[in-house]
Amino acid sequence: MHGTLSIELEMESPVITKPKDYLIARVVHRSDAQALEALARYNVETYYPQTMELRPVPQRKLSTAQRNSGNRVQCPVKVPMFPRYVMFEELSNWDRWDEIRDQSGIAGFATNNNKVAKIPSSAIEQIKRENGELIDARKSARIIFNIGEEVGIASGAFASFPAIVEEKLDIPLADLDPETRLIVLVNIFGRQTRTELEIWQVAKRD
């Protein structure tokens, strides 16, 4: 009678990698880009949320007619949500930290109860989903002014009058310029008047 040969195979358990937390680094004045570039060179994952805002155009970039009008001309620009702060994934190996710090311009970390503050990666992913991470300049300008939104008029004949956006401005943010026009309903002494205004004349209400 032959015995039964039993063979047991050892199977390796899958390696489960725990998502790394993010740290909040404070950088020296105006060195945000330097910090991001340095961390990227060391393959460190970063998070630097930006948004789009309307900012005044410098006088030197305006035409003579625009300067003489006395009106404030604005254009869309990307700005950091948290200037001078960069979030990055916690390092697996801190042996090269001194080298990274010297190249990145990082001055220190945000702390909580005298300990380095950490943000779970899940929270970072949630922020990205909720805020779109970066408002792309290719997106429609209607993200600035929505139909039915109450706005103010910053300059011109209707300055200080309340208004409501009547038609969406469905062009890419990158294509906005001082001549771009927005159609609004201006409330003039209780009567709504359809008016076309240049975008820099219209201001969002707080």
* Per-residue H/E/C for the chain: CCCCCCCCCCCCCCCCCCCCCEEEEEECCCCHHHHHHHHHHCCCCEECCEEEEEEECCHHHCCHHHHHHCCCCEEEEEEECCCCEEEEECCCCCCCHHHHHHHHCEEEECEECCEECEECHHHHHHHHHHHCCECCCCCEHHHCCCCCCEEEECCCCCCCCEEEECCCCCCEHHHCCCCCEEEEEEEECCEEEEEEEEHHHEEECC
Does 8 reside within a domain? no
Does 186 reside within a domain? yes
Domain range for 179: 141-204
Quote the pTM value.
Answer: 0.52
Strand-pair partners of 145? none
Does 188 reside within a domain? yes
The CATH number of the domain where 51 resides is what? 3.30.70.940
Both 31 and 119 in a single domain?
Answer: yes
Domain final position from 131, 155, 177: 131
The CATH number of the domain where 177 resides is what? 2.30.30.30
Both 124 and 32 in a single domain?
Answer: yes
Does 74 reside within a domain? yes
Domain final position from 68, 96, 131: 131
Domain tally, the chain: 2
How do residues 42-95 score in pLDDT, each as one tens digit? 999 999 887 777 777 787 777 776 677 666 677 777 788 788 889 999 998 889
Nearest Cα neighbor of 89 from 152, 47, 140 is: 47
How do residues 90-129 score in pLDDT, each as one tens digit? 998 889 899 999 899 898 888 877 788 888 888 888 767 6
